[in-house]
Chain A
Amino acid sequence: MANIKRFTTVQRLSHFVLILTFMLLSVTGLAWMYIETGWGQGLANLFGGYIAVLEVHRITGLILLIGFALHIGYMLYNINWHGLPKSILGPDSLVFQKKDWLDFVQHLRWIVGLSKEPRFERWSWWEKFDYWAVWWGLLIVGVTGLMLYNPVLSSDYMPGWLLNIAVWVHRIEALLAMAHIFTIHFFVEHFRPRCFPFSATMFEGSKDIEHLRQEHPAWVERMEREGHLADVLVPPVPVPLRILHFVTGYALIALGVFLLVYAIINVTYLTLAF
């Protein structure tokens, strides 16, 4: 049995850096937001208390933004500028196209049993959505985060009352991102029956061909038709590495679920007023 290569090392590394910074920002951000509760103080103490946790949050945020800038550079570098606009509208592109919308509708109809399963190309509509959701999330959280990084400095360039708005927008977007990752993303990528208990594609870079025939049939067929399926076949990842991925993955999932559950339990103790 063989695997099909799906992600390059740089892409996997980017995803892993995203995981690490996202988790660190979640922990420190929730510690900040929940500092009035014992849970929040406990989280903050892991980093050496309230003042320290704010500093860690700020610096991690900067690292994530630098990573985002690097990703944009990587993307611009990889675009085939001569072939525009066709080069970004092909089946390997993450840009939303008409087919994604049709796929989405058909997927919905398939779920309720009204139609056959859509035959996804390289990226399904939800994979594209997940990719662009990080963009939109990072733009919102990044801009407001930079505004709050040094409120005195930023109010040189805008009226100080924009900070009131920035705090809330930052907070709601961050909660949305965490809740989305810790429920919907985890479910779709790992807990959905076809992927359960763990889908390691983004860690290993490749996925078992049978699984891809089911999830991305149009992609596999296109490669077969064009005759370069053999170029993307790689051997399965060795077992010790797979165990490592599984354990790391589940540790991160557990952390996410822990944050989500405790954030919900403790929410009534917050004095934030909507």
Chain B
Amino acid sequence: MHLRRNSRYLLTLLLCLGILMPAAVSAADEEHPYEAASSGYFRDQDILPGGYSLYRQDEAGRLWGGPSGGDIKRASFQADAHEGLDGYGRRSCVSCHETERYSLHTSRGNTSCVQCHRDKPIAGLYQYYSPMNPIRRHAYICAKCHEGSTASFATYVVHEPRPLKRDTAESFPLFYYAVWFMVILAVGVFAVFLPYVTLWGVRELIEMRSKGGGHNG
């Protein structure tokens, strides 16, 4: 009796898991609406003047204050970036990769990590055959959702650094200075005008009190 009740619980539990598990797995692998809309077409020919070169994009980027490509670690060249990592299968991506948790794509575009990091096992970004390798990123990753994607398009930094942080001045200078410029402009406008109009209002109020009426009076 006792055993049977236990095994019934066990069965129910297994059944629930059986129902939930595939759902959980496929939720992550699910097709994004953008993916259904894109034919996956991509272009290898860039039309940027001077022939935007895949192999020279880092140089060009640095020249104009573009992104430097981030840290390159040993894992970046591994076929399985998580090789030999303890607890990899049991934890969520963001529990280890806190800095990649939020980006425009995940928090607004509703894309999950594995809709971009789709290879299994996940290869390092610069591993030769990695779909994330900049020589084929536009074709293997971005074109899945963004039809007609090019190598130039794929230099968009998905996990962008925090624009106002000091480090960003080195990793993506133009981004850092442009955003700071805009912030200073915006804050400056309010720093001048908010006190200005407040005092102005007070001044007119005093004037009206002393005249004892409105402008028509």
Contact = CB atoms under 8 A, between A and B. Distances in A.
Interface of A: 32, 35-36, 50-51, 108, 110-113, 151-153, 155-161, 163-165, 167-169, 172-173, 175-176, 179-180, 183-184, 187-188, 191-194, 208, 210-211, 214, 271-274
B201 A210 contact: no
Given A51-B33, A161-B172, A193-B204, 10 more contacts: A155-B155, A161-B67, A165-B178, A168-B175, A169-B179, A187-B197, A193-B201, A194-B204, A272-B102, A274-B164
A175 B185 CA distance: 12
Contacts of A180: 189-190, 193
Interface in B105-124: 107-108, 110
A127 to B, nearest CB: 14
Given A176-B185, A183-B194, A188-B197, A211 B66 contact: no
Contacts of B17: none
B156 A164 contact: yes
Nearest to B152: A155
A179 B185 CA distance: 13
Contact of B183 (A32, A159, A172): A172
Given A168-B182, A188-B197, A179 B190 contact: yes
B150 interface: yes
Interface of B: 33, 46-48, 52, 57, 60-61, 64, 66-67, 101-102, 104, 107-108, 110, 146-150, 152-157, 160, 162-164, 172, 174-175, 178-179, 182-183, 185-186, 189-190, 193-194, 196-197, 199-201, 203-205, 207-208, 214-216
A176 B190 CA distance: 9
Contact of B215 (A110, A188, A211): A211
21 contacts: A111-B196, A151-B146, A151-B156, A156-B150, A159-B48, A159-B57, A161-B66, A161-B155, A161-B175, A164-B156, A165-B174, A172-B179, A172-B183, A179-B190, A184-B194, A191-B201, A193-B205, A193-B207, A194-B204, A274-B162, A274-B163
